[in-house]
Amino acid sequence: MTNTDLYLRRVEGIIAHHGHAVQYVGGDPDTGAPPFAYTVGLHTRPDRDYELAVSGLRAETSQALLNTLSAAFADRDLAPADGLEISGILQGGLAIRLRPVSRPEDLGIIYAIYRTTPPVWQALWPDQRGHFPDDDRCRLPLQAQALL
């Protein structure tokens, strides 16, 4: 059994226990690519046909955000949609905005386990004044949050 097989079994165990796992991918200091994270297994739950992702945050922050966002979708009976803003997730009353991930097949652990790639929705986080990366008034550097 390869290290990859062992890792996938570990992820499958987390999914079996918690309903989904969060896969974190560290950034690349050579290229300046920020880190990102995504859920694995969420799409197998009833009434969910998607996964969630976030970019530019540390591992612990990414995991907490994706877990909280996942719970908010279930608790509020929400369905993801392009531009949907969800409040009550971030401190300070700031909202999260969703956008579809343009190449969900690049999130390889999902495919490695399920041999399919469901839609993936990226949670964009705003700057301190509530402006998102696609807003000219946003004060976040362009490289802070890659659009997946």
Round to whole Å and give the CA distance between 138 and 124.
12
Which residue do the tokens 């696609």 mark?
A: 134
Rounded to 5 degrees, what are φ and ψ at 70? Answer: -60, -45
Domain ranges (residues) in the chain = 3-144
Q: Report the pLDDT value the prediction gives residue 30, as an integer from 0 to 100.
A: 86
Query: How crowded is the C-beta side of 47, counted as CA atoms within 13 Å?
Result: 9
Mean pLDDT of residues grouped by 10 in the chain (148 residues)?
Answer: 88 95 91 90 92 96 96 92 93 91 92 95 93 88 84
Q: What is the pLDDT of residue 82?
A: 97
